């Protein structure tokens, strides 16, 4: 019975460790989420990057802003969602 109790406690400990860092598991297929806003005078600008510890290069920021601009009127009012994949810049960690 002791071995069952100890294995159960290891499972709970492992589960707590993983749940305390959910982004570690999630980041295996998603690097970050960016909120891009558009101002008529300034153009596109990244308003928010989540998680906050992600550092994008200037080239990546420019690409995200450029790709987030709709190239034609879609006929819908309100927020628009885009998803796309970018190559990582040289010097960035691989997934």
More confidently predicted of 25 and 3: 25
Express as a percent the part of the chain with pLDDT over 90: 12
Q: In this predicted model, what pLDDT tens digit does every residue of 35-71 receive, in sequence order?
A: 998 888 888 899 999 888 889 999 999 989 988 876 6
In this predicted structure, the answer to whether residue 6 has a pLDDT above a threshold of 50 is no
How far apart CA 91 and CA 53 sit, in angstroms, is 16
Measured CA distances, 25 to 18, 30, 81 (Å) = 8, 9, 23
């Amino acid at each position: 019975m002791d071995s069952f109790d100890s294995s159960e406690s290891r499972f709970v400990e492992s589960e707590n460790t993983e749940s305390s860092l959910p982004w570690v598991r999630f980041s295996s297929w998603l690097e970050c989420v960016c909120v891009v806003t558009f101002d008529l005078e300034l153009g596109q600008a990244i308003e928010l990057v989540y998680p906050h510890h992600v550092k994008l290069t200037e080239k990546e920021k420019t690409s995200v802003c450029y790709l987030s601009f709709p190239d034609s009127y879609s006929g819908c009012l309100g927020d628009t969602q885009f998803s796309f994949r970018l190559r990582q810049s040289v010097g960035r960690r691989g997934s």
